[in-house]
Homo-oligomer: A and B are copies of this chain.
Amino acid sequence: MYRPRLLTPGPVELHPKALEALARPQLHHRSEAARKIFLQAKAGLEAAFKTQGQVLILTGSGTAAMDALVQNLFAPGARVLVPVHGNFSERWAKIATEAGLEVVRLNLEWGRVVRPEHLESAQGPFDGLLLTHSESSTGALNDVRTLAQAFKARFPESLVVVDAITSLFVSEFELEGWGLDAAACGSQKGIMCPPGLGYAALSPRAIERLKPRGFYLNLASELKAQSSGESAWTPAINLVAATAAVLEELLPRLPEHIALKRQQNEILYATGQELSLKPVPEVKSPATTCFYLPEGVSYAQVKEAFAVRGATIIGGQGQLKGRVFRLSLMGYSDLYDAYAVAQMMREALRFG
Smallest Cβ distance from A185 to chain B, in angstroms?
Answer: 12
Instruction: Tell me, yes or no, whether A180 is within 8 Å of chain B by CB.
Output: no
Per the bound structure, the CA–CA distance linking A201 and B303 in Å amounts to 35
Inter-chain contact B11/A19, CB cutoff 8 Å: no
Inter-chain contact B237/A11, CB cutoff 8 Å: yes
Contact among B11, B28, B195, B331 with A312 in the assembled complex (CB-CB below 8 Å): B28
Instruction: Tell me, yes or no, whether A76 is within 8 Å of chain B by CB.
Output: no
**Contacting residues, chain B, for A218 (C-beta < 8 A):** 98
**Contacting residues, chain B, for A236 (C-beta < 8 A):** 194-196, 236, 239
Inter-chain contact B13/A216, CB cutoff 8 Å: no
Per-residue CB contact flags for chain A residues 15-31 toward chain B (1 = under 8 Å, else 0) read: 00001001101111111
Inter-chain contact B28/A6, CB cutoff 8 Å: yes
Q: How many copies does the complex hold?
A: 2
Smallest Cβ distance from A68 to chain B, in angstroms?
Answer: 8
Q: Which of A36-44, A59-67, A145-153, A338-346 contacts B (4 or more CB under 8 A)?
A: A59-67
Interface residues of A in 189-211 (CB under 8 A from B): 194-196
| A interface size (C-beta, 8 A) | 50
Given the interface contacts A11-B237, A19-B23, A59-B64, does A195 sit within 8 Å of B29 by beta carbon? Answer: yes
Instruction: Tell me, yes or no, whether A214 is within 8 Å of chain B by CB.
Output: yes
**Contacting residues, chain B, for A67 (C-beta < 8 A):** 214-216
Instruction: Tell me, yes or no, whether A167 is within 8 Å of chain B by CB.
Output: no
Per-residue CB contact flags for chain A residues 239-270 toward chain B (1 = under 8 Å, else 0) read: 10000000000000000000000000000000
**Contacting residues, chain B, for A215 (C-beta < 8 A):** 63, 67, 94-95, 98-99
Smallest Cβ distance from A266 to chain B, in angstroms?
Answer: 24
Instruction: Tell me, yes or no, whether A287 is within 8 Å of chain B by CB.
Output: no
Interface residues of A in 259-308 (CB under 8 A from B): none
Per the bound structure, the CA–CA distance linking A6 and B23 in Å amounts to 16
Q: List 19 A–B pairs whose Cβ atoms lie within 8 Å, in order of A's numbering.
A: A6-B25, A8-B28, A11-B26, A11-B27, A11-B234, A13-B26, A14-B25, A14-B26, A22-B22, A31-B312, A59-B61, A59-B64, A59-B195, A60-B233, A61-B235, A64-B216, A67-B215, A194-B237, A217-B217
